Chains A and B, each alone.
Chain A
Amino acid sequence: MSQKRPIVYPYIPNSVPAVKQQMLQEVGAESTEEFYEDVPQKLRFKGHLNLPPPLLSEYALKRHVEGILARNRTCGEYLSFLGAGCWHHHVPAICDEVNQRGEFLTAYAGEPYDDHGRFQALFEYASMMGELLNMDVVSVPTYDGFQAAATSIRMAARITGRRQVLISRTISADKLSKMQDYGKPEIEIRMIGYEHETGQLDLEALKAEISAEIPRYARNDRQSETAAVYFENPSYLGFVETHGDEIASIAHEHGALCVVGVDPISLGILTPPVEYGADIVCGDIQPLGMHMQFGGGQAGFIATRDEEKYVMEYPSRLFGIAPTRVPGEYGFGDVAYERTSFALREEGKEWVGTAAALWGITAGVYLATMGPQGMVEIGEGIMARSRYAMLEMGRLKGVQAPVFQSPHFKEFVVNFDGTGKTVAEVNRALLARGVFGGKDLTNEFPELGHSALYCVTEVHTQDDMDRLVRALREVVE
């Protein structure tokens, strides 16, 4: 009994020694070693990889992984007010039901025939996003909202043939970092400040910074011409940018595009950016049916009007609808495929590849489930709850909530300067009381002092917010 038998791996059918032997014989090989004759001996890895011993039974594996995961604390176990790009919304059960189906989960890149379902589901996703945004063209998901913003400004640079992009200072530092890295070869980013009282983009600063269109005959150096003005609505700091139309007008008067980042779950009640002049709209669909997953549920969208000069600058796949040879049958396929790197390698627009398609299908399920009424109600409910939280927190001694005198959607900045405590101290004390406090903004926005970004959504009850306020009172008063 002591002799070790070779392992038959459950995921590897031909690991049965007799099968392996028979297949080797059939191809006329002594051993698998023969298949590697092109790999020089010098490059061969000698010996065994130094990896942890395997957990061969499914049970042992499950126990091991669950044991590690048990060290996590969740937003179900704690009361969380974290947002800042990943938000705690309710995920309808039907979203999980659909995205767990193996037909979707394990598919990849089949043809529009055998993968008709994927094409239709993604076309419908784009179509429902189009209704939310009031725009006719929406891409299949890109990696995340950061990538969507970075690609949007590069599209704007290509469309205008210009280099400079002006970005509102109230953007997240991480997103800006991504946009800077991604923009490097063809974009020069400049920041536009904000009104101290309201957080609103400083229109005078924008007017001063934006470069007028240089007359065509003198146009030999386009370095300083503005390709786009980028801002977010609601902003990263939670307030609603109320002068979108003015910002867009300023951009357009100077021949620049207006690019707006938007939280899609706000659009049941907030005006879609295209209606105040946005040319390109982008954002992250994580709120639309994706669990937070430690940041694993992010996926980006880009939307424009249906104009050739815009459509031809998308790097991602765009699925369109077309007839088949059978009357009444819907067919789907790639629109303007020849612009992609799949068709043209480095001559395509940026690149296309695997990104976050399953989250697109899921967001489609979410929007179909919510319907128009659901999106209106959830938006209104979030706004009401967050306003309640601001009012209650603002009553605490030394606490200012919100910092900005503007309407807010679901997030808002809270300042603790008057409490004599740092955000880190406040959050540590809240943690001890079972609460995840808002994101610490001290390093990201030093001018805001000891401030944190709080997030309230439809998952928060009045009791939850009252509990937060009680805990804070203990901590700061």
Chain B
Amino acid sequence: MAQRDITQHRFTGGKPNLRRFHQARWDEPVIFELSRTGQRAILVPEVEDEIRERVGDVLATLPPSMRRKEPPRLPELAQPQVLRHYVRLSQENLGTDLNVDVGQGTCTMKYSPKVNDQLARSPKLADVHPLQDEETVQGILEIMFRFEQILKEISGMDQFSLQPGAGSAGIYANVSIVRAYHASRGEADQRDEIITTIFSHPSDAACAKTAGFKVITLYPDDDGYPDLDALKAAVSERTAGLFITNPEDTGIFNPKIEEFVRIVHEAGGLCAYDQANANGILGITRAGEAGFDLCQFNLHKTFSSPHGCGGPAVGPIGVRQELARFLPVPVVEFDGVKYRLNYDRPDSIGKIRPFYGVAPVVLRAYAWVMSLGAEGLREVSEIAVLNNNYLLKKMLEIPGVSAPYAQGKRRIEQVRYSWEELAQETGVHSEEIGLRAADFGVHYWTSHHPYVVPEPCTLEPTESYSQDELDEYAAILAHVAEEARTGPESVKAAPHNSTIHTIDPAPFDDPSQWAITWRAYRRKVRQWDKND
């Protein structure tokens, strides 16, 4: 008998069926529960006998008050069990390597090339100490210097520092530079306000506040553009600066950005460009042309370094020449023969982090740009934007979803959608749609708070996803939206196929119940221990 054709059952009406996905569910214990007294996962190098004889009992040199009384109560496992535990946990995690990760808008979840990881792990970088003699670190200094030249060209700014440890750290460093600039002109006390927009990242507001500034937040006008009249009303002799993204988290590019910059400059403020959303505009438009004084990129977003569950990362900052003297120390310089680190910068804001920045992330970003060149970077942006507008069309075919603002217009690299219509019809909320989508093996994120767009979700397809994958993502959301109409209870009870089921969030906001460590859990909640 001939074999049955399996493939025909994978399609309906010529379109592929949704995946019958189920995420790994290992019911994995907390690692302390796997502990058996006496097990070892690694042995440490033994001290030579001669050393022991020579130094005697070194612990006796410590006063009793400084000598730990009993060993830390860490779990005791053999190596295979440690590995198995963590590999199981890894399987209970969906990286970009696994899923069509377009649902984490604003985060630019693109492919992180494996060759770049391999290069970053080379002992030629991994085993290099940051305080080695400059002669012995010429390779990594060259990569940092070269990458700074690349960022200068991409942004139109005059000088860069790679030191900040992520985008928000870059924003904070730029706020510090803005403060130092006004202080250098004797206006530090007077200029105590920073203006941002509600569709810029929360850190633009939060970093400014942390640095001691008052924050003025502009809301969009009816078309979704930051309100120009509101800006005019906000600026004054107290304006220290403007911190703004463009395109904003709605994917809408502010066409009046030059006017925004001019108005703030005329008021005596500086303008900082948060380029977290740069993926759609590489080689299209630059911070320099729009008149910005400072900018920051996210190498773990636009420049492909993997997100690492939330870092390590780099948020390089670029400035115009007149602000270069304020950049963090040291800066990398090249005299035509040798690369060196220059600490002699008396006006610098100082150190932002230890040493010079997260070198393996810089290396990956450099390798990524080198694999593409100018033409390739433009292709990245054009395809990212094409993918976004393609997904926009597919999304708007789903009843119940809309793309507020700028009706009929194209978007840049992402869109903030609204499920308000569906929510009103079915009582199913955006967050619940996302949890049900997880049952089909994809991430989905609502958006940053506050929800100015009601029932939001933010999709950013980047250049890394194929047409088929975009179709799959839209098909999943279409299916979930349909379920919301036909069986809302099932959507509200989701996820069903994830590692775990609906969490009871009550303990998280109750100081008597919350448990941030296992020891706290044992003390506060675990009955076995309480009855001991």
Which residues between 508 and 528 of chain B lie within 8 Å of chain A, taking CB atoms? 508-509, 511, 514-521, 523-524
Per-residue interface assignment for chain A, residues 59 to 97, with 1 indicating a CB less than 8 Å from any chain B CB and 0 otherwise = 001101110111111111010101011101010101011
Q: Does B357 contact A (CB under 8 A)?
A: yes
Interfacial chain A residues near B43, Cβ < 8 Å: 374
Q: Which chain B residue has the least Cβ–Cβ distance from A14?
A: B383
A219 contacts partner chain B, Cβ-Cβ < 8 Å: no
CB distance from B334 to the nearest CB of A (A): 13
A322 & B504 in contact (Cβ 8 Å cutoff): yes
B212 touching A70 by the CB < 8 A rule? no
- Ordered by A's residue number, 25 sampled pairs between the chains whose C-beta atoms are within 8 Å are A7-B379, A39-B281, A48-B283, A51-B373, A66-B124, A78-B132, A102-B95, A108-B307, A112-B503, A114-B93, A116-B499, A120-B92, A127-B32, A127-B518, A244-B66, A276-B66, A294-B140, A320-B515, A346-B205, A350-B210, A351-B207, A355-B311, A356-B313, A368-B77, A388-B55
Contacts A359-B311, A368-B74 aside, 19 further interface pairs with beta carbons under 8 A come to: A13-B464, A14-B383, A26-B390, A37-B409, A39-B253, A52-B150, A56-B371, A69-B124, A102-B95, A115-B309, A117-B92, A128-B74, A136-B516, A177-B351, A180-B350, A242-B66, A319-B516, A324-B504, A439-B131
Whether A384 and B58, one on each chain, are in contact in the complex, defined by CB atoms closer than 8 angstroms, is yes
**Residues on the A chain within 8 Å of B308, using CB:** 99, 104-105, 107, 356-358
Q: Is B262 an interface residue (CB 8 A)?
A: no
B27 at the interface (CB under 8 A from A): yes
Task: Give the one of A11, A82, A134, A381 with max B CB within 10 A.
Answer: A11
Q: Which residues of A contact B509 (CB under 8 A)?
A: 335-338
Segment among B5-13, B167-175, B317-325 that sits at the interface with chain A = B167-175
Interfacial chain B residues near A129, Cβ < 8 Å: 517
A347 vs B300: C-alpha distance when bound (angstroms) = 26
Chain A residue with Cβ nearest B358: A296
Contact of B203 among A319, A351, A431, A461 (CB under 8 A): A351
Interface pair B377/A51, CB less than 8 Å apart: yes
Taking a contact as CB atoms under 8 Å apart, the answer to whether B125 and A80 are in contact is no
Nearest to A77 among chain B residues (CB) is B127
Q: Which chain B residue shows the least CB distance to A294?
A: B359
- Complex contact A322–B508 (CB within 8 A): yes
Which of chain A's residues 356-379 have a Cβ closer than 8 Å to chain B?
Answer: 356-359, 361, 364-365, 367-378
Bound-state Cα–Cα, A179 to B463, Å: 40
Contacts of A376 in B (CB 8 A): 71
> Which residues of the partner chain B approach A334 to less than 8 Å between Cβ atoms?
508
Q: Is the CB of B448 within 8 A of A177?
A: no
When C-beta atoms are compared, the residue in chain B nearest to A246 turns out to be B65
Q: Cβ of B311 and Cβ of A374 under 8 Å apart? A: no
Q: Which of B230-238, B285-293, B482-490 contacts A (4 or more CB under 8 A)?
A: B285-293
Contact A86 B107 (CB under 8 A): no
Question: For residue B166, which residue of chain A has the nearest CB?
Answer: A354
Nearest CB in chain B: distance from A244 CB, A: 7
Cβ of B449: which chain A residues have Cβ within 8 Å of it? 342-345
Is B500 touching A106 in the complex (CB atoms < 8 A)?
A: no
Is B386 engaged at the interface, CB distance under 8 Å to the other chain? yes
Q: Tell me whether A336 and B498 are in contact in the complex, defined as CB-CB below 8 angstroms, given that A44-B285, A354-B313 are known contacts.
A: no
**At the interface, yes or no: B479 with Cβ under 8 Å from chain A?**
no
B71 near A294 with CB under 8 A, answer no
Q: Check: A217 CB closer than 8 A to any chain B CB.
A: no
The smallest C-beta distance from B258 to any residue of chain A, in angstroms, reads 6
What residues on B are CB-neighbors of A105 within 8 Å? 95, 97, 112, 117, 306, 308
Assess whether B219 is interfacial by the CB under 8 Å rule.
Answer: no
Most buried by B among A90, A242, A341: A341
Asked if B190 is at the interface (CB within 8 A of a chain A CB), the reply is: no
Least CB distance from A85 to B in Å reads 5
B443 A114 Cβ-Cβ under 8 A: yes
Instruction: Return the chain A residue nearest B511 by Cβ.
Output: A308
B399: interface (CB < 8 Å)? no
Q: Give the residue name and chain of the B residue nearest to A24 (CB).
A: B386
Give bound CA distance, A35 to B50, whole Å: 73
Contact with A along B19-59 (1 / 0, CB 8 A): 00001000110111000000111111111101110110011
Q: State whether the Cβ of B228 lies closer than 8 Å to any Cβ in chain A.
A: no
Chain A, 307-333, contact with B by CB distance < 8 Å: what is the 0/1 string? 010010000001111111110111111
Q: Is the CB of B383 within 8 A of A38?
A: no
Of B42, B91, B313, B361, the residue contacting A370 (CB under 8 A) is B42
A414 interface residue per 8 A CB criterion: no
**A2 interface residue per 8 A CB criterion:** no
Q: A92 to chain B: which residues have CB within 8 Å?
A: 41-42
Tell me the nearest residue of chain B to A140, going by C-beta: B310
Q: Contact at B122–A69, with CB atoms within 8 Å?
A: yes
Residues of chain B lying within 8 A (CB to CB) of residue A99? 308
- A238 close to B (CB within 8 Å): no
Q: How far is the CA of A42 from the CA of B76 in the complex (A)?
A: 65
A-contacting 9-mer, from B78-86, B263-271, B419-427: B78-86
By a CB distance below 8 angstroms, the chain B residues around A147 are 165, 169, 353
The residue among A51, A126, A141 with the most chain B CB atoms within 10 A of its own CB is: A51
A104 in contact with B90 (CB, 8 Å): yes
- The chain A residue sitting closest to B188, CB to CB, is A184
Q: Are B127 and A270 in contact (CB under 8 A)?
A: no
- Distance from A292 Cβ to chain B, minimum over Cβ atoms (Å): 5
List residues 310-363 of chain B with CB under 8 A from any CB of chain A: 310-313, 329, 349-361, 363
Determine if A111 is an interface residue (Cβ-Cβ < 8 Å): yes
| B374 lies within 8 A of A35 (CB) | no
A458 and B366 alpha carbons, distance in the complex (Å) = 34
Residue in B150, B209, B353, B511 whose beta carbon sits within 8 Å of that of A311 in the complex: B511
Place the interface of chain B in its size category.
35 or more
A391-B94 in contact (CB<8A): no
A287 at the interface (CB under 8 A from B): no
The CA of A358 and the CA of B168, in the complex, are separated in Å by 17
Contact A23 B390, beta carbon cutoff 8 Å: yes
Whether the pair B377, A372 counts as a contact (CB closer than 8 A) is no
Contact call B359/A356, Cβ cutoff below 8 A: no
Which of B360, B412, B503: most chain A Cβ within 10 A? B503
Query: Cβ of B18 < 8 Å from any Cβ of A?
Result: no
Q: Which residue of A64, A324, A348 contacts B370 across the interface (Cβ within 8 Å)? A: A64
B28 CB to nearest A CB, Å: 7
Nearest to A440 among chain B residues (CB) is: B131
Nearest CB in chain A: distance from B92 CB, A: 4
A346 to B28, CA, bound (A): 38
A60 to B402 alpha-carbon distance, docked (Å): 46
Complex: A328 Cα to B299 Cα, angstroms: 40
Residues from chain B with Cβ under 8 Å of A37 in the complex: 409-410
Complex Cα distance, B351 from A130, in Å, reads 29
Say if the beta carbon of B1 comes within 8 Å of chain A. Answer: no
List B contacts of A369 (CB < 8 A): 41-42, 77, 79, 82
Q: Which of B156, B309, B438 has the most CB of A within 10 A?
A: B309
Contact of A29 among B153, B389, B508 (CB under 8 A): B389
Q: Chain A residues with Cβ under 8 A from B367's Cβ? A: 61, 65
Enumerate chain B residues within 8 angstroms of A459, measured Cβ to Cβ. Answer: 45
The chain A residue with its CB closest to the CB of B92 is A117
Query: Any chain B CB within 8 A of the CB of A220?
Result: no
Give which listed residue, A88, A320, A348, A431, contacts B516 with CB less than 8 A.
Answer: A320
Do A407 and B61 touch across chains, with their CB atoms under 8 A apart? yes
- Which residue on chain A has the smallest CB distance to residue B138? A71
Contacts of A137 on B, CB cut-off 8 Å? 516-517, 520
- B72 touches A (CB below 8 Å): yes
Say yes or no for A420: interface residue by CB 8 A criterion: no
Contact between chains at B93 and A381 (CB < 8 Å): no
Q: How many Å lie between the Cα of A13 and that of B506 in the bound state?
A: 44
Asked whether B95 lies within 8 Å of A66 as measured between CB atoms, the reply is no
The closest CB in chain A to the CB of B66 belongs to A271
Task: Annotate B177-217 by CB proximity to A: 1 below 8 A, 0 otherwise.
Answer: 00100000000000000000000001101111111100101
**Alpha-carbon gap, A66 to B367, bound state (A):** 10
A462 contacts the other chain (CB 8 A): yes
B14 on the interface (CB 8 Å rule)?
A: no
Q: Is A294 a contact of B130 with CB atoms below 8 Å?
A: yes
**Cβ of B502 < 8 Å from any Cβ of A?**
yes
Answer whether residue A418 sits at the interface, using C-beta atoms and an 8 A cutoff.
Answer: no
